[in-house]
Structure 1
Amino acid sequence: MKRALIVFVLVMVLGAAALSAIQADSGYVLIALGNTSIEMSFWLAALLLFGALGVIWLIGRLVHGSVSATRRASERLFSGTSARAQRRTASGLVDFIEGNWKQAQRKLLRAAAKSGTPLINYLAAARSAYELGDRTTALELLHKAEQSSPNSELAVALTQARMQLMSRRYEQCLATLERVKRKAPQHPVVLDLLRQVYVSLQDWEALKALLPSLRAYGSQSEEELDALASQLYCALLEQAGQRARTQNPDQAAEQLHKAWHEVPGPLRKQPAVAGLYARQLLDNRLHSEAEAVVQKTLHKHWDPELVRLYGLIPAADPGQQLITAEGWLKKRPGDATLMLTLGRLSLRNQLWGKAREYFQSSLQLHKYPETCAELARLLAHLGEHKKSTEYYQQGLLLTTDALPELPQPKEAGH
């Protein structure tokens, strides 16, 4: 109220001053153009000038408003409103989940400009383009995704790494993940993708270095991580065995001992891991050590594969080896694999009759093809060729599917 009164008084004062100036000296303005001249008072000319400027300003505002309205109408026509963009984004994501890559890419790109989350639109559209086989467009969309939102480097890199992993470009995928791992070393998705790459590349040393981070920050269960650790250390034992075969016996033993002691204690107790280590020792002619490993493991964990392996070890004292295995038979009299092993150990001790009995007892419990082969070989050396041939045939049939009923020629002599 007070401010309005002050403005009114100022207007009245200025108006009175202007009127006094006009009455005192109206001045004049002469405009001459060729033979035409126009003369008017200064104040009228000033009034006309300000009026013209006002008209020009008004026209400018009208034109600007028309352009803005046209642009907004064009955006609504081609891109739609924000609400429509959100609906189109949701529909595109449903197509993406269902695997309708072409429709998903089209909808997501049309809605990207008005979407509240353009990063999601571009990332999903890039993956859709990749699934359609258009890698060039996929890379372009990843670049747009990175430009669309701040702090989007991690999401873009993970999307790119997944596409590289799917296309088996492991070296490129590894480079992408190593770059992003420097900024997010504990990110569970980064760690899991690295795990997959290392397994695919069989880079077991790198996987061993990654395993503590997977246990601390990864998303896998303890059971999955234990299985991964078993796979990892079995692969390292095999690598050590391969290297050892190119070295002399002392170096080979040192190589294998080092690899075995790097295996965590709980894994060394697993029959599968211990059996793999024993086979590496056998391949490098470290028979006594292989025998000790198998005996120690079987004492705590009975395992048919280890029992079978025990019968293949050429121990320094085959007699004691047979006595040890016969001690196991007292607790497991119905074990077909143990009977097979006892038959082989009897052969190693040149106890032909006992070996035959053990092989026959094993076949009564379970017909293993290798038991048939062992008995057939023994009978052939004992001169019982007909029976030997029968067991060879029996073992061969056990390794194939059942033969169909078909006509056969009559046997000779019938």
Structure 2
Amino acid sequence: MRLLLWLVALMATAIGIAVTARFNPGNVVLFYPPHRIDMSLNLFVLMLGALFVALYGLVRAFYATARMPQRVAAYRQRKREREGNKGLRDALKALFEGRFGHAEKAAMRAAELPENAGLASLIGARAAHRMREPARRDAWLAGVAHDASLKTARLMTVTELLVDDHQHDAALQAVDELFASGQRHIHALQWAMKANQQARNWPEVLRLVRILDKRKALHPALAKRLRELAYQSLLGEGGHDAESIRRTWAGVPAAERTAPYIAARAAEAFNACGLHDEARAIAEESLKADWDERVVRAYRDAAGPAGSPTLLAQIESCEQWRKTRPMDAQLALTLGSLCLKQKLWGKAQRYLEQALSDALDAEMVREAHLKLAQMHEALGQEQEAANHYRQCALVGWTAMPSKRSALV
């Protein structure tokens, strides 16, 4: 449609010029003594137009020739930009596809463009790391070390790659530098947690787990497992004295103290230091909030001295708990053990035999046989004691198939 309109306009213009020229009687005379040139006005107008077009063409040709070096340089720059940007796209695509060799080669092409050099270096570092080439990885990272605009991206990349390479000390240095610059977003906190976990810096791991859990950035199962590992290390490792255990327990938030895996580990640690009163208090608070066999086992190990009011109070508490959990084998074993220590032989035998019949694992069966053997031995019933000792040994033997096959 536009072409048709242009043709109509051009034809109308041509017709107008032809009609005007036909009825134009004007004449132009040029004098340059001794010469004289006569021409029609129409011819003069045409020659003037042709002269203008010729001069315009000469001027354009001159400027085009003068700007030729700039145009060549701009063309080469555009070509480099196209190739550099294409290399960057190819590097990203190859990295996501897992073709790390292709990604590193494409990153080399992309790095030839100064604007892409920083990002290309980070891509090349990740690709080299995946190919287990630490020297090339470090060389790529060194190339972007002084780029302030990519500081956060560089530190995040360094942290991830070093954590993956189990170089937790260097990773923690990058984390400290990252946090010093004010970057504490969720992804940074997650990698900081992993670096501290590798370094076994459990107090910091717990702090980061609480932050991430509050922001719902951790799966609940993972958060629970990390807390278990942290408290297992803080409370369960050997070499702790009573004072250090108390300090560690004082730093546990009140909301976490009743969690079964924490309470059980803490009670075991206090029992190992001989602090049975504190272990019993921890176990009782946890059992009020949430029943767990591990805590019941720790409560059994925290039994008070024979004949003491503490031991009698424990027996009474266990009997109250049995009203709501009559089929709990771990509780029956605990109550039988406490009665055995208090020398309540009838109750001890009844509860231990119930624990033996309701036991769910070999360890509980073995312990019930052992307690019954000790009870019969204390009563002078040697035959019954020997039978239970034999059953205890048989349970221990069947629970270790690998050792038994090795002996055979």
Is this a same-fold pair by TM over 0.5?
yes
CA–CA distance in structure 1, aligned partners of residues 350 and 401 of structure 2: 26
TM-score, length-scaled by structure 2: 0.68
* Alignment partner, residue 180 of structure 2: 182
Pair 1:356-2:341 in alignment: no
* Alignment partner, residue 287 of structure 1: 276
CA–CA distance in structure 1, aligned partners of residues 271 and 299 of structure 2: 11
CA–CA distance in structure 2, aligned partners of residues 134 and 244 of structure 1: 45
Pick which of 329-338 and 138-147 moved more: 138-147
CA–CA distance in structure 2, aligned partners of residues 233 and 386 of structure 1: 40
Pair 1:379-2:373 in alignment: yes
* Alignment partner, residue 120 of structure 1: 119
* Alignment partner, residue 90 of structure 1: 89
* Alignment partner, residue 38 of structure 1: none
Pick which of 201-210 and 343-352 moved more: 201-210
CA shift for structure 1 position 322? 2.1
* Alignment partner, residue 139 of structure 1: 138
Does the CA-based 8 Å contact 1:230-1:267 persist in structure 2?
no
Does the CA-based 8 Å contact 2:83-2:109 persist in structure 1?
no
* Alignment partner, residue 325 of structure 1: 318
CA shift for structure 1 position 228? 4.6
Pair 1:161-2:159 in alignment: yes
CA–CA distance in structure 2, aligned partners of residues 185 and 218 of structure 1: 19
Identity %: 21
**Match of residue 243, structure 1, among 219, 240, 243:** 240
Pairing of 1:53-68 with structure 2 (within 5 A)? none
Does the CA-based 8 Å contact 2:355-2:368 persist in structure 1?
no
CA shift for structure 1 position 326? 1.9
**Match of residue 334, structure 2, among 337, 341, 345:** 341
Name stretches of at least 5 consecutive residues in structure 2 with no aligned partner.
Answer: 1-61
* Alignment partner, residue 302 of structure 2: 313
Name stretches of at least 5 consecutive residues in structure 1 with no aligned partner.
Answer: 1-57, 246-251, 409-414
CA shift for structure 1 position 296? 2.6
Q: Could you say if the C-alpha distance between residues 213 and 349 of structure 1 is closer, same or farther in structure 2, counting changes exceeding 3 Å?
A: closer
CA shift for structure 1 position 98? 2.8
Pick which of 376-385 and 100-109 moved more: 376-385
Does the CA-based 8 Å contact 2:193-2:204 persist in structure 1?
no
Q: Could you say if the C-alpha distance between residues 105 and 185 of structure 1 is closer, same or farther in structure 2, counting changes exceeding 3 Å?
A: closer
CA shift for structure 1 position 218? 8.8
Q: Could you say if the C-alpha distance between residues 258 and 192 of structure 1 is closer, same or farther in structure 2, counting changes exceeding 3 Å?
A: same
CA–CA distance in structure 2, aligned partners of residues 112 and 232 of structure 1: 43
CA–CA distance in structure 2, aligned partners of residues 116 and 361 of structure 1: 77
Does the CA-based 8 Å contact 2:336-2:351 persist in structure 1?
yes
Q: Could you say if the C-alpha distance between residues 242 and 109 of structure 1 is closer, same or farther in structure 2, counting changes exceeding 3 Å?
A: same
CA shift for structure 1 position 106? 0.9
CA shift for structure 1 position 143? 2.8
SS in 2 for 1:125: helix
CA shift for structure 1 position 113? 2.4
CA–CA distance in structure 2, aligned partners of residues 203 and 109 of structure 1: 38
Q: Could you say if the C-alpha distance between residues 305 and 128 of structure 1 is closer, same or farther in structure 2, counting changes exceeding 3 Å?
A: same
Does the CA-based 8 Å contact 1:376-1:392 persist in structure 2?
no
* Alignment partner, residue 170 of structure 1: 168
SS in 1 for 2:301: coil
CA–CA distance in structure 1, aligned partners of residues 320 and 211 of structure 2: 45
* Alignment partner, residue 56 of structure 2: none
Q: Deviations over 1:105-128 (max 9, x none)?
A: 112212332486443222111111
CA–CA distance in structure 2, aligned partners of residues 340 and 124 of structure 1: 61
Pairing of 1:63-78 with structure 2 (within 5 A)? none
Does the CA-based 8 Å contact 2:129-2:137 persist in structure 1?
yes
* Alignment partner, residue 263 of structure 2: 274
Give 1:335's aligned amino acid.
D
Pair 1:303-2:298 in alignment: no
Q: Deviations over 1:344-371 (max 9, x none)?
A: 1222123445433323222322343233
Q: Could you say if the C-alpha distance between residues 292 and 353 of structure 1 is closer, same or farther in structure 2, counting changes exceeding 3 Å?
A: same
CA shift for structure 1 position 188? 3.0
Q: Deviations over 1:238-288 (max 9, x none)?
A: 47x84325xxxxxx3xx4444323211110121221222211211111112
Give 1:314's aligned amino acid.
A
Does the CA-based 8 Å contact 1:339-1:358 persist in structure 2?
yes
CA shift for structure 1 position 181? 1.9
Q: Could you say if the C-alpha distance between residues 210 and 333 of structure 1 is closer, same or farther in structure 2, counting changes exceeding 3 Å?
A: closer
SS in 2 for 1:293: helix
CA–CA distance in structure 1, aligned partners of residues 296 and 227 of structure 2: 24
* Alignment partner, residue 389 of structure 1: 390
Q: Could you say if the C-alpha distance between residues 335 and 209 of structure 1 is closer, same or farther in structure 2, counting changes exceeding 3 Å?
A: closer
Q: Deviations over 1:46-78 (max 9, x none)?
A: xxxxxxxxxxxx9xx79x9689859967x89xx
Does the CA-based 8 Å contact 1:146-1:156 persist in structure 2?
yes
CA shift for structure 1 position 334? 0.9
CA–CA distance in structure 2, aligned partners of residues 398 and 225 of structure 1: 32
SS in 2 for 1:311: helix
CA–CA distance in structure 2, aligned partners of residues 217 and 361 of structure 1: 47
CA–CA distance in structure 1, aligned partners of residues 231 and 392 of structure 2: 40
Does the CA-based 8 Å contact 1:86-1:116 persist in structure 2?
no
CA–CA distance in structure 2, aligned partners of residues 386 and 200 of structure 1: 49
